[in-house]
Structure 1
Amino acid sequence: MSLTYEERRQTILAQLATQGKVQVQALAELFQVSTETIRRDLDRLEKEGELRKVYGGAVRVRSGMIEAPFQKRSLLQLNEKQRIGAAAASLIEDGETVMLDNGTTTLEIMRQLRSRSQVTVITNSVPILACALEDFAGKIIFAGGEINNAVQASTGPVAHELLNQFKVNKAFISAGGISLTDGITDYMLEEALISRKMMECAEESVLVADHTKFGRSTFAKIAPMDQISMVITDSGCPSEWVNALHQMEIEMVHSI
């Protein structure tokens, strides 16, 4: 019995959510229908604003390749980020040293660590540094370098060289996008390279991201998915991603 359009639609959208793209021929074989039927399905989904057709298939509609300013981003999905920050902070034990990359979600981790006098935080983020200087009871180390005003963080060879001096327990990494095909990505190469360096310096890398980041690919690659051990996200994370991460044996924590 052939599937209806609505049934095919759900499968197509699920593939887009995890892989970021679909191919006409592969879908035709999966559904056992003609390529013409699939192209009509993709036409319809494009009109619904769910995807963008490309040669041989379609890709997920991107939200844009330019990242919003830090202050504006800090207000987006704020409740989710605060819960993710609390869940991440609860995983940090006294005596540990952790790295926080520059992001609005990692900033919420810093806010949750204010009273933790036995924790050391290393960061390249100016907003995280400023937060720590207010009332953080632990030790803060700033990976200084060339300050990029656009992203409010230090980047470049000096920052990389300083990070090279450390081996830490955990690195908490934020992302612009998360895709099974493209891995963890960010909007700016300089920031992606710093996040990648932090992962190299850590015994364990933890990805912190709200549900809007899943199925999205941005400009610069940070790392493949298999280089992280845990994902902390909110309850809005698509079920397709829950299943995909389980199959990859990546631990998933839903913030409460």
Structure 2
Amino acid sequence: MSLTFEDRRMKILNHLEMEGKVQVLHLSELLSVSTETVRRDLDRLEKEGKLRKVYGGAVKMRMELVEPPFLRRTQMMKKEKVAIGKAAASIVQDGETIMLDNSTTTLEMLPYLKDHHNVTLITHSVPILNLAMETFGGRIIFLGGEVNLELKAATGSLTDQMLDQFKVNKAFISVGGISLADGITDFHLAEAVISRKMMQRAEEAILVADHSKFGMSTFARVAKLDEISMLITDSGCPKEWMDTIEALGIEVLIGE
């Protein structure tokens, strides 16, 4: 029995949610329909604003083609980021050294780290440095280098060289997008390079990401999904994604 458009629509969008992109030939085999039918379905879904057609298939629509400014991002998904920050801070143990990359999600860890006096915090993020100097009771190490005024963080070869000097317990890494096809990605190459190096210099690489990042692919690749040790997300994360992540042997922690 052939599938109705609504059935095909659901399967196409579910596949798009997990992969971030779909291909006409693969969908034709998956749905047991002709490539012409798939193309018509993609046309309809594009008109609905559900996807954007590209050569040979389609990609997920992005709400933002470029990353919003840091100050604006502090107010986006605020409740979810606070829950994630609290959960992330809860796994930091006394005596550990941790790295925080430059994001509004890792920034939300700081209020819950204020009593960790025997923890060393390493970051290249100027907003995290500023807040840590006001609230954090442990040791702070700032990764120097040229400060990128747009990103509000130190980046470049000097920052990269400083990272080589450290081996830490945990690195908390944020993302621009997460997809099965492209792994963990960021909007900015300079940020992706630093995040990737932080993962390499840590015993545990911990990904902190709210549910809006899943199924998205952004400009610069940070790492493959199976290179992380743990995912910390919010309760809005789709169950399909949690099951997929856990199937890779990665622990999932939900911030409440």
Distance 1:143 1:67 in 2: 23
Distance 1:105 1:111 in 2: 12
Describe how 1:48-59 pairs up with structure 2 within 5 A: 48-59=48-59
The match for 2:200 is 200
TM-score between the two structures when normalised by the length of structure 1: 0.97
Distance 2:69 2:50 in 1: 26
- 2:121 aligned with 1:136: no
Match of 1:15, SS state, is helix
Please tell me whether the aligned partners of residues 65 and 219 of structure 1 are also in contact (alpha carbons under 8 angstroms). no
Distance 1:187 1:129 in 2: 22
Distance 1:49 1:41 in 2: 12
Deviations 1:51-94 (A, max 9, x none): 01112211111233321110100100000000000000001110
Describe how 1:116-131 pairs up with structure 2 within 5 A: 116-131=116-131
Q: Which amino acid aligns with 1:193?
A: V
TM-score between the two structures when normalised by the length of structure 2: 0.97
Distance 2:246 2:8 in 1: 24
The match for 1:102 is 102
Distance 1:240 1:10 in 2: 14
The match for 1:214 is 214
Describe how 1:13-28 pairs up with structure 2 within 5 A: 13-28=13-28
Q: Which amino acid aligns with 1:89?
A: A
Please tell me whether the aligned partners of residues 122 and 142 of structure 2 are also in contact (alpha carbons under 8 angstroms). yes
Distance 1:148 1:173 in 2: 19
Distance 2:218 2:248 in 1: 22
Distance 2:63 2:129 in 1: 29
Q: Which amino acid aligns with 1:173?
A: I
Describe how 1:33-182 pairs up with structure 2 within 5 A: 33-182=33-182
Q: Which amino acid aligns with 1:158?
A: L
Q: Which amino acid aligns with 1:144?
A: G
Q: Which amino acid aligns with 1:91?
A: I
Match of 1:253, SS state, is strand
Q: What are structure 2's unaligned runs of at least 5 residues?
A: none
Match of 1:161, SS state, is helix
Please tell me whether the aligned partners of residues 111 and 135 of structure 2 are also in contact (alpha carbons under 8 angstroms). no
Distance 2:204 2:248 in 1: 16
Shift of 1:195: 0.5
Q: Which amino acid aligns with 2:69?
A: P
Q: Which amino acid aligns with 1:123?
A: T
Please tell me whether the aligned partners of residues 14 and 240 of structure 1 are also in contact (alpha carbons under 8 angstroms). no
Identity %: 60
Shift of 1:203: 0.3
Distance 1:237 1:93 in 2: 26
Distance 1:246 1:112 in 2: 26
Shift of 1:238: 2.2
The match for 1:10 is 10
Q: Which amino acid aligns with 2:3?
A: L
Distance 1:255 1:2 in 2: 42
Match of 1:33, SS state, is coil
Shift of 1:50: 0.4
Please tell me whether the aligned partners of residues 98 and 168 of structure 1 are also in contact (alpha carbons under 8 angstroms). yes
Shift of 1:25: 1.5
Shift of 1:186: 0.9
